[in-house]
Structure 1
Amino acid sequence: MESILTINNLTKKFGYLTAVKDLSFTINKGNVYGILGPNGSGKSTTLGVVLNVVNKTSGDFHWFDGNISTHHALKKVGAIIERPNFYPYMSGYQNLKLVCKIKGVDYSKIDEKLEIVGLLERRDSKFRTFSLGMKQRLAIASALLNDPEILILDEPTNGLDPQGIHQIREIIKEIATKGTTILLASHLLDEVEKVCSHVVVLRKGEKLYSGRVDEMISSHGFFELKCNNQNELVKLLKNHKSFGNVKTEDDLVTAFLTEPMKSEEFNKYLFENGIILTHLIQRKESLEEQFLQLTDNNPINQN
């Protein structure tokens, strides 16, 4: 699989603070990657280093096959790592014309990119009349003008209302279907789960997990259970090879599967062992539940 970005043992220190610690992962062509972690986990610092905005302390990274300089590689990268910064008294189209001049891109690209982000009808409206969501969408259009091989977005839905969030996420998915690789930093579990195919989980600058979203920890789901003899139920589950983590909260037992199991098979097994359930629900684990297991139930910021 063709590599877009490779990071090896990257470390960045700010004085006594280690913002990124010994981080390694690879971004392959054609996927949507999420860097997931709470504020202060090292997401923005990592993006800053690979975009030549922040100097690394140690380790290395290379773009594409590693045979071109970072300066030249970045000509094939589109990125938004700060709030959109356009001229308020100029129209969306005029602002993008300036970006075209800087990037050496033909003006013919502007309407094409405005259409992708749903702003073609507002091309001649002044930037100051745009909502926050529209400003963010114009920034995405700006980052797409040079037809980048990878689009990098740092917290793209931060501060937006639900409609704005939905629009940005749909645009990201649409861009990905056209073959553009996307690297998205977010503190929102929900965002990564809905938009990304792969995830790198960071906490305090260290990588906790890297891989496919749908393979994170376990994709076998869990059972929510209630019965009249909870202690016997928990004991039975903890001695069963098909279960990993077993949690109890008041009268509810949650048992996480390590391999596939049907609810009817499970219910029969319990009945044969003298356990009669008053409540049985089988669920697929959300990324949140998997994340909380991964981080030892230390909650991430989900707002």
Structure 2
Amino acid sequence: METILSINNLNKIFGKKIHAVNNVSFEIKKGNVYGILGPNGSGKSTTLGIVLNVVNKTSGDFSWFNGSLETHDALKKVGAIIERPNFYPYMTAQENLELVCKIKNIPFTKVTEKLELVGLLDRKDSKFKTFSLGMKQRLAIASALLNDPEILILDEPTNGLDPQGIRQIRDLIRLIASQGTTILLASHLLDEVEKVCSHVVVLRFGKMLYEGPVDAMASNEGFFELQAKDSNALITILMNHNSVEKCVEEEGKVLVFLKNKLEADELNQFLFENQIVLSQLIKKKHSLEEQFLQLTK
């Protein structure tokens, strides 16, 4: 799979004390949605600023498209929104995007195409000043997509939006990704990353704590939620299984935590052979939130 962006041992130090980005390394592969997740001040925006050439690195390296292009040329294949949308308030949506096309030497035909993509074609003749915050953000995304970039970079794309606006932006990100555009977004919202990203990089105080698929961040073993007529007998039998680490009784249910991988059908068969009939069996995974809190505590 083609590597869009490679970051190696990246560092950024402000002044003498603030190590904003601390030896960060990861790769962005084509066709995925990546999230840089971390609390405010964790180095997310600084990392994006460095790879977009608006912040100077202290040390380390990054390269675009397997190093085949210099950064200046590579950024022509990148769409990015790292600040609040900035358009002319008395110009219409279409006029604002046509101005971007003029500056970047892009055919005007792209304007209608991108307005339709972000759901603003019916408001193409409305002035920017009449737009809600969510509409302004969608127009900014349309602007960033005018050059059909290989990768779209978004810094806190749902920040300040109401629930409807948040949902619209998330749906739009999924739509853009489904059409083959690689996406890299920075967020402090666990829910956002869990719902739209395939891969995640977790940062805290500039240091990388995790990098990999979102699904793999949560415990693979997970736990079971079981219910039977006799909870004590159930727990006694369960503790004889090699894959069971501990059992916790909670509101009439038995939570079974694992030390080794165990499938639901295997557990059900084991209990049935030991004269335990279950009235409930649910396999759950530890949430991304639980895993994130454990990483950053």
TM-score, length basis structure 1: 0.85
Shift of 1:228: 7.3
Pairwise mapping of residues 1-303 of structure 1 onto structure 2 (< 5 A)? 1-15=1-15, 16-224=17-225, 242=243, 255-256=257-258, 258-262=260-264, 265=267, 281-295=282-296, 298=297
Runs of 5+ unmatched residues, structure 1: 299-303
Shift of 1:206: 1.1
> For each residue in 1:237-275, what CA deviation from the matched residue of structure 2 results, as whole angstroms up to 9, or x when unmatched?
6x965356x697988856256413327726955996x99
CA pair 125-73 structure 1, distance change in 2 beyond 3 A: same
Runs of 5+ unmatched residues, structure 2: none
Q: 2:60 aligns to what SS in structure 1?
A: strand
Task: Give the counterpart letter for 1:78 in structure 2.
Answer: G
Contact in 1 for aligned 2:243/2:261 (Cα 8 Å) = yes
Shift of 1:90: 0.8
- 1:36 and 1:247 map into 2 onto residues whose CA distance is 32
Cα RMSD for the two superposed structures:
2.9
TM-score, length basis structure 2: 0.87
Task: Give the counterpart letter for 2:38 in structure 1.
Answer: G
Shift of 1:287: 1.6
Contact in 2 for aligned 1:34/1:198 (Cα 8 Å) = yes
Task: Give the counterpart letter for 1:91 in structure 2.
Answer: T
Specify the alignment match of 1:301 in structure 2.
none
Shift of 1:202: 1.1
Contact in 1 for aligned 2:223/2:255 (Cα 8 Å) = no
CA pair 149-253 structure 1, distance change in 2 beyond 3 A: same
Q: 1:138 aligns to what SS in structure 2?
A: helix
Task: Give the counterpart letter for 1:11 in structure 2.
Answer: N
Shift of 1:188: 1.2
CA pair 6-49 structure 1, distance change in 2 beyond 3 A: same
Contact in 2 for aligned 1:224/1:255 (Cα 8 Å) = no
- 2:208 and 2:242 map into 1 onto residues whose CA distance is 28
- 1:258 and 1:166 map into 2 onto residues whose CA distance is 37
> For each residue in 1:34-92, what CA deviation from the matched residue of structure 2 results, as whole angstroms up to 9, or x when unmatched?
11111111111100000001111110000002132111100000000111011111111
Shift of 1:286: 2.3
Q: 2:67 aligns to what SS in structure 1?
A: coil
- 1:88 and 1:277 map into 2 onto residues whose CA distance is 63
Contact in 1 for aligned 2:79/2:147 (Cα 8 Å) = yes
Shift of 1:218: 2.5
Task: Give the counterpart letter for 1:112 in structure 2.
Answer: E
Identity fraction in percent = 68
- 1:129 and 1:37 map into 2 onto residues whose CA distance is 33
Q: 2:290 aligns to what SS in structure 1?
A: helix
Q: 2:53 aligns to what SS in structure 1?
A: coil
- 1:193 and 1:182 map into 2 onto residues whose CA distance is 14
> For each residue in 1:211-255, what CA deviation from the matched residue of structure 2 results, as whole angstroms up to 9, or x when unmatched?
1112224233213479977xxx69x86x965356x6979888562
> For each residue in 1:187-209, what CA deviation from the matched residue of structure 2 results, as whole angstroms up to 9, or x when unmatched?
11111111111111111111111
Q: 1:291 aligns to what SS in structure 2?
A: helix
Q: How many matched pairs?
A: 292
Contact in 1 for aligned 2:80/2:152 (Cα 8 Å) = yes
Q: 2:116 aligns to what SS in structure 1?
A: helix
Shift of 1:280: 6.7
- 1:163 and 1:41 map into 2 onto residues whose CA distance is 27
Task: Give the counterpart letter for 2:128 in structure 1.
Answer: F
CA pair 37-225 structure 1, distance change in 2 beyond 3 A: farther
CA pair 174-228 structure 1, distance change in 2 beyond 3 A: closer
